[in-house]
Chain A
């Protein structure tokens, strides 16, 4: 699996994400500076990391979405490439138009960093197939602006096409208001593109890939990709 991590000024989970890819795939990721205009050839996955690109000034992800490299990332996605956006990377994908919706300030108004439980809503995607029969994953969130919003018709469409990848839930898998850390509509934590090859998610799977850090549920996102991209 050949991966690249895009580095924006203010990205701060870029190295963590590269480490997670390498841990699972055994191959180092290529770090690509945002001022580049082309991606390395032969890539399987492009990942947009968490952090505060351009300081989150103006609007989270808005300036990064206009970086030179993002035209190449959009072309890569439109050509059927796999794109993963985590946290700030999810915000960038929304600002780029590769995924629908918007992320508002958390309903509680505070930054929130803690483990949450996620219901794996679909295993029919290259990012979630390793969960097999679905289930509950424990993965941390760390954000100020993770309150996902789409209008009702789009929400119906996301549900109808099984494009909601993860929802916030309790430890038993119940999708409740109490389990929602940021006020997201329908507890949505991650969404897929129509071709299911672009995933944006607020939680940080790269932070819980290693039992030494208290859990490895996050590794399944990367294992899913590895499985999906393995030569048949």
Chain B
């Protein structure tokens, strides 16, 4: 087969800009081969090189006494005591999921699970953050149904409980949905496996499924905007095989036990290319590959195709040569491919051979080390129009409308399609502030939450970025967990547009400030840019997934209050309605500034809630976020199947008081006889609080206007199945 001639036009088809192509020519002093061009395009695209985002990602706080390994490896590693570590990361599969929802989402889950068990950790929890277009958009139903089935289809078969996440609808995602998948696993802190190769002449081993032509060029596709040629891109989406992944998990963990593994790297985006370069680069070694040894499932595959294939469920490993027989036996037991496909070499060289013919011969370090890096111009986005009219509302009727809205109704339709109980350690199931999963039978447990409010991020990127972290912090505290660390999945539009780059820069700044102030370092993450269709960008969506630690299950704070409990609002209420759920959903007014986040107040409120529970004073707690006091009270009432009576406020309108979205607030329930003691502890902590009402009966009575709890439950329960079912 003759290979196409390499020239600037072909480079452009590979997504390389003219200056980037020139950089390649300068670097190697000749025209690259076709395979080499493919390798450069894979390594230098936005998805793999982070060339637009790197400058800003460096500003994020990534260190702390709890951090064992921060960003740069397959996943972040955080100490949870007793010699154990939690390993976690979040990653996007946005473009593939829009093109082929089931397989796109499924392979997104597969990829993130592989990132976790590559490091030696057995996955114990998965979450996902999903953003779709308007419920009325003709494509939305097929997308949500396919994505949810895909996530379930992969995670359920693999055997990881999918315990939580987010789901939102907004017309800004009509042409570009977001699928962000998170996974966490547990490993012994002294048995973490890294990707850096070591030793010259060590065998490079290929493990897992066979290589096919699927996904060739996927990473490059993920780094481009969409237009009306999208249907042609379907062949770049991979197909997932959770059965192979499950066997790969068991085989890898079994192999790691034997001490045979020097280093290991999963084959994700840009498959063999990225994984081989990563292992060599980190270990300051070269790598030689002999592609005729790669297990293939299609005939006459070229070097170019093998190097760029994104076939799933594959791993690359550097092995201790004396353990080869042991390793081979384990992989044969699990009926997986095992092949020595190359070796580490002393020179800084990436040498790719096929049947004795040199297909690529490149300086290895330069492939990642000299990847382009851009300081993209950015501008502060324009402020949104001010919020002008504050409507007069009947608060309980408005609650019915908000909680029946697809954005705020029950997500049971989604999570019932996920096995959220496999492994028999799920203590707090989906639908609460944060999910809680025991660590291998307990008593220790971990809490997981995923948060971001894209409306806020668009109106005010810095405050929006802060708010995403603050809300994650709040959800962990409301569950009783001590926040440990964070992973981020930064989804934005085209960074070549200064206003989009401005959103990115602002959000990263806000996230960094909040992670520092709340002691939740970023230990891993992913950037997804070019989320645009025909020039229209998504809302800036920096998803924050945070992990918290609970020493035992007694530390868990329930969401359900008890009959007769007093309702106390913790934190300061000014009635901030700008960018609120009430205004956006009921009045179609995405106006005003995002609510400001006071990180100091946020921290004090969170510590107070945990202290109140530790002192045995409160029966339940719930964070306030979208929909403010009203939605928090409604959700607590539904959780307990007990009504709630809330008084109005002299200084604020009903809309401001019940639906304002001031940050740093919690609603707690306190038995009447513990009220005095509770108030005194709150006063000592110097946190503002208000006695707002109590939980009783079977009605929700807001300022004298009441609805039946049963009506709220019906509206809340049916909101999603009604259009997605």
Any A CB within 8 A of the CB of B158 = yes
Q: Which of B136-144, B149-157, B448-456 contacts A (4 or more CB under 8 A)?
A: B149-157
A72 to B423, CA, bound (A): 27
Any A CB within 8 A of the CB of B335 = yes
A residues in contact with B442, CB < 8 Å: 212
Any A CB within 8 A of the CB of B345 = no
On whether the beta carbons of B157 and A56 are closer than 8 Å, the reply is yes
On whether the beta carbons of B441 and A52 are closer than 8 Å, the reply is no
Cross-chain contact of A9 among B335, B418, B425 (Cβ < 8 A): B335
B residues in contact with A126, CB < 8 Å: none
Any A CB within 8 A of the CB of B374 = no
B238-265 contacts to A (CB < 8 Å): 241-244, 246-247, 250
A residues in contact with B149, CB < 8 Å: 110-111
From known contacts A20-B424, A212-B427, A212-B442, infer whether A9 and B246 are also in contact, taking CB-CB under 8 Å: yes
On whether the beta carbons of B423 and A113 are closer than 8 Å, the reply is no
B404-442 contacts to A (CB < 8 Å): 412, 415-427, 429, 438, 441-442
B residues in contact with A55, CB < 8 Å: 157, 241-244
A191-224 contacts to B (CB < 8 Å): 204, 206-207, 209-210, 212-214
Any B CB within 8 A of the CB of A54 = yes
Looking at the assembled complex, report how far the CB atom of B155 sits from the nearest CB atom of chain A, in whole angstroms. Answer: 10
Any A CB within 8 A of the CB of B553 = yes
A226 to B600, CA, bound (A): 56
On whether the beta carbons of A10 and B427 are closer than 8 Å, the reply is no
A40 to B156, CA, bound (A): 30
A35 to B534, CA, bound (A): 54
Q: Which of A11-19, A90-98, A182-190 contacts B (4 or more CB under 8 A)?
A: A11-19
Cross-chain contact of A51 among B159, B415, B420 (Cβ < 8 A): B159
Q: Which residue of B lies closest to A55 (CB)?
A: B243
Cross-chain contact of A111 among B156, B335, B425, B429 (Cβ < 8 A): B156
A156 to B416, CA, bound (A): 33
B residues in contact with A35, CB < 8 Å: 333
Q: Which residue of B lies closest to A144 (CB)?
A: B156
A residues in contact with B422, CB < 8 Å: 12-13, 16, 50, 142, 207
From known contacts A9-B335, A212-B438, infer whether A113 and B247 are also in contact, taking CB-CB under 8 Å: no
A110 to B153, CA, bound (A): 10
Work out how many contacts link A and B, with CB atoms closer than 8 A: 91
On whether the beta carbons of A9 and B427 are closer than 8 Å, the reply is no
A45-67 contacts to B (CB < 8 Å): 50-52, 54-57
Any A CB within 8 A of the CB of B723 = no
A51 to B158, CA, bound (A): 8
On whether the beta carbons of A142 and B156 are closer than 8 Å, the reply is yes
B residues in contact with A113, CB < 8 Å: 156, 415-421
A residues in contact with B56, CB < 8 Å: none
Cross-chain contact of A112 among B416, B424, B426 (Cβ < 8 A): B416
B381-419 contacts to A (CB < 8 Å): 412, 415-419
From known contacts A111-B417, A112-B416, A113-B418, infer whether A16 and B423 are also in contact, taking CB-CB under 8 Å: yes
A residues in contact with B334, CB < 8 Å: 9
- Tell me which of A16, A20, A54 has the highest count of chain B C-beta atoms within 10 A of its own C-beta: A16
Any B CB within 8 A of the CB of A140 = yes
Q: Which residue of A lies closest to B243 (CB)?
A: A55
A residues in contact with B553, CB < 8 Å: 212
Using an 8 Å CB-CB cutoff, how does the interface string of B661-687 with A read, 1 for contact, 0 for none?
000000000000000000000000000
On whether the beta carbons of B247 and A207 are closer than 8 Å, the reply is no
Looking at the assembled complex, report how far the CB atom of A52 sits from the nearest CB atom of chain B, in whole angstroms. Answer: 4
Q: Which residue of A lies closest to B553 (CB)?
A: A212
Looking at the assembled complex, report how far the CB atom of A224 sits from the nearest CB atom of chain B, in whole angstroms. Answer: 19
Looking at the assembled complex, report how far the CB atom of A171 sits from the nearest CB atom of chain B, in whole angstroms. Answer: 13
7 more A-B residue pairs beyond the given contacts A9-B246, A12-B157, A142-B421, with a C-beta to C-beta distance below 8 A:
A9-B335, A15-B423, A20-B424, A56-B243, A112-B417, A113-B421, A213-B424
Binding site for B on A (CB under 8 A): 9-10, 12-13, 15-16, 19-20, 33, 35, 50-52, 54-57, 110-114, 140, 142, 144, 204, 206-207, 209-210, 212-214
Sorted nearest first, the 8 A-B pairs with minimum C-beta distance are A12-B159, A55-B243, A16-B424, A52-B157, A142-B419, A207-B424, A111-B417, A113-B419
Binding site for A on B (CB under 8 A): 149, 152-153, 156-159, 241-244, 246-247, 250, 333-335, 412, 415-427, 429, 438, 441-442, 553
Between A and B, 21 residue pairs with Cβ closer than 8 Å are A9-B250, A10-B157, A10-B243, A13-B422, A15-B423, A16-B424, A55-B157, A110-B149, A110-B416, A111-B152, A111-B153, A111-B419, A113-B156, A113-B421, A114-B416, A142-B156, A207-B422, A212-B438, A212-B442, A213-B426, A214-B429
